[in-house]
Amino acid sequence: MCQSCGRPFVSPLAADAIQPLCRLCRAQFYGFQRARSYAVYDDALSSAVVLLKYEGVRRLGEWFAARLAEMVERDPEAWQVDLVVPVPLHPDRLRERGYNQAELIARPLARRLGLKFGSYLLMRTRPRPSQLVLSRAERWTSVRGAYATREGARVDNLRVLLVDDVLTTGATLDSCSRALQKAGAAAVLGLTVARVLPGWSRQGTRARKQRSSTYGP
């Protein structure tokens, strides 16, 4: 996989490179320094994420946090961070849902790792478009400049562990990372439960479409 963003390589030749990085990371495209996910967003994991995100099965947040903590503990030198921050929801979406699924994962993760928890540091300033399925370009447009640090937030020279449920294009982690670094963060590392990969995640896409007919966007 790419040693920066964690995307699996299609060609084995890329993995044998002196510096195994994907095309985007060679170009320093992302604002975050490192990203990893627990598993591919397949049908089983998609169903589990839906239970947490829309059915209120909050104990799944603890289970996901335990899996992410295991990843960090297996390679502590790569995950030297000062605090854990969840990707925030827009206030309208938070009122509608009643909770932030990323926070339900990030809070117990911070506790397991013995780190400070900074849910107050980031905010989403612009709501997500109403349509459920967005193209890659639409995803980047929808989150560009959509996150900011709160007034008075202190992240100077801190290494931040940014947590979300699913990594699709990397646009959300990128936007949040740029906001944190603009506020003075030394580095931002991303951890997500699932990662969407073209060709590996078709069943997960179908599950999202089926969910939309039941829950709306």
Contacts of 15 (CB under 8 A, 6+ apart): 1, 9
Per the DSSP assignment, residues forming a β-bridge with 36 are 191
Question: Which two structure tokens, joined as six digits, stand for 214?
Answer: 């039941």
The per-residue pLDDT of the chain, averaged, comes to 88
CATH domain 31-215 topology: Rossmann fold (3.40.50)
Closest listed residue to residue 34, CA positions, set 86, 77, 88, 93: 77
DSSP, collapsed to helix, strand or coil, labels residue 62 as helix
Global pTM value: 0.87
Residue 203: band (very low, low, confident or very high) from pLDDT cuts 50, 70, 90 = very low
Domain locations in the chain? 1-29, 31-215
Residue 118: band (very low, low, confident or very high) from pLDDT cuts 50, 70, 90 = very high
